[in-house]
Amino acid sequence: DAGVIQSPRHEVTEMGQEVTLRCKPISGHDYLFWYRQTMMRGLELLIYFNNNVPIDDSGMPEDRFSAKMPNASFSTLKIQPSEPRDSAVYFCASSLGDGETQYFGPGTRLLVL
């Protein structure tokens, strides 16, 4: 398996623009996680899905953030409108079970100007 795939790897956008991050989990993994990492706040769990259903989105910072998982092989994290404070590295991870090993993608480095 190719591992968790994320796209794009880098994104530079202007404040107010819509940003869409994409993730393809490892085939057969039932759990998918979205994280945000910054120097100030460390690694934050934004939302996670089980069998394509959002289970806990309490980490989503604001209504500007939304995430979907239309099928077992694809998820998106959308920020609309984006703000400079959203600049961070966004990671997607997947796992077989809820307490099991998480496999991380390479991340998307987002810069909002």
Footprint on this chain of other proteins (rule: CB under 8 A): 4, 35, 42-43, 45, 48, 56, 91, 93, 97-107
Question: How far apart are alpha carbons 19 and 85 in whole angstroms?
Answer: 13
Q: How far is the CB of 105 from other proteins (least distance, A)?
A: 6
Structure tokens at 26: 């490892």
Q: 63 Cβ partners below 8 Å, 6+ apart?
A: none
Question: 81 vs 103, which CB is nearer to other proteins?
Answer: 103
Question: Which residue lies nearer to other proteins by CB, 42 or 70?
Answer: 42
Token pair belonging to 112: 């909002």
Name the minimum Å distance from CB 28 to other proteins: 17
Name the residue type at position 15. M
Nearer to other proteins, 12 or 15 (CB): 12
